[in-house]
Amino acid sequence: MTIHQLAPKLYNWASILEPHTRDQALTTAAMPFVHPHLALMPDAHLGKGATVGSVIPTLGAIMPAAVGVDIGCGMIAVRTQWTGVDLYEVGGVPGVRKLREDIESRIPLSAGNHNTEVSPGGWDRINELETMWDNTCTSHGVELPSAYSTHWRLQLGTLGSGNHFIEITLDEDSRVWAFLHSGSRGIGNQIARHHIKVATELMKKWWIDLPDPALAYLVEGTPEFDHYIAELNWAQHFALLNREEMMDRVLDALALHMGTEVVEEQRINCHHNFTQKEHHFGRNLWISRKGAISAREGQLGLIPGSMGTASYVVEGLGSKMSFNSSPHGAGRNFSRSKARKTFTHEQLREAMKGIEYRDTDAFIDEIPQAYKDIDQVMADAADLVKIRHTFHQVINVKGD
């Protein structure tokens, strides 16, 4: 798709754009500190306050809800030495099912579930996070992450629910990859909600009337802004390490299945809900990507499709107008409640034919038909990224 300018401060790459999503993006783009324009990605869909699938550059302020409540959510993928033939030679289809069950036994799934103890390898990551908090967050008055969640350490290495997943997948050369999607779990959610509340209360204190309360913002240079940025960076790092911890467990399961250690030939780990300061159009801007990945020229990233469809390793093309960004996935076409009313368990089974997964109607709201066509999303993103690898699932693991 050719980029379209929908308003003076809104550029759009989405050929599939629902009217309410467009209106929401127009409202966000009109905020006075959005500069020079908001970039709407091909997977854009309605979000809370700001649109999911948007890149929001700001001067002197950040809207915490525009980053979202799953701070640092993103993807990780590892390419192994094996092929699909190797994978199925070990026990055939029953062996693949056993591998799926082993992965499910190693990683807590679904909202609210966590580990019963920290894994031996997890303690180094916990220590890293505790040191980071001491160095960057305690000066803002919150002494420990446990002020937000008493069991945050046990959340490290957990998946969650919704569109989070773990997959064993094959690329176009039938190479086996481990691939997963998750974020900062309950601790990140609590941090985000705290700062959204702080921003909302400041708007009331300053008598600022917003077009949407979820667009409440924090002003750079204030203690509230500095507090948010410190804890945001910590939560983003927690999310990255959470994916690393889960990937270690997936690779252990894969090594046990194959009877030999994994040889990692490539590893990619990227956020798609995050904020960082970047230089664009001659200015230092805060770039909030809510459902978008960084796609600088030559930078590798990951774009998952929906449950049962293709996913991609991509290389950024450094699109100036998108602030070096690209879509983060397929993007929803149906809300979860509408999807459950529209689609059936049998339709889900048909969509997942040939893929090993836990067959339950709990996943109806994740059926591919509830999402945009990933092929169209990737076609719309042709000037943002180029495809390096295309994945097709062998195993899919999700939380209810």
Residues identified as active-site: 328
Q: How far is CA 400 from CA 151, 307, 395, in A?
A: 21, 13, 16
Tokens of 356: 């090993």
Tokens of 20: 């309410």
Tokens of 162: 């919704």
User: How far does CA 80 lie from the centroid of its chain?
Assistant: 23
- Residues with Cβ within 8 Å of 163's Cβ and at least 6 positions away in sequence, in order, are 181, 306, 329, 366
Q: Looking at 46-122, which runs of residues are DSSP E strands?
A: 52-58, 61-62, 74-83
The values of phi and psi at residue 308, to 5°, are 95, -5
| Number of neighbouring beta carbons within 10 Å of residue 197 | 12
- Residues with Cβ within 8 Å of 335's Cβ and at least 6 positions away in sequence, in order, are none
Q: What share of the chain is helix, strand, coil (3-state, %, to 5)?
A: 40, 25, 35
Tokens of 214: 């979820």
| Whole-angstrom distance, CA of residue 318 vs CA of residue 299 | 8
Q: Looking at 218-324, which runs of residues are DSSP E strands?
A: 218-219, 266-271, 273-280, 283-290, 292-294, 300-303, 311-316
| Whole-angstrom distance, CA of residue 258 vs CA of residue 271 | 30
Angle among Cα 256, 259, 264 to the nearest 5 degrees reads: 75
198-231 burial by CB neighbour count: b if 16+ within 10 A, else e? bbbebeeeeeeebeeebbbbbebeeebbebbbbb
| Whole-angstrom distance, CA of residue 304 vs CA of residue 331 | 10
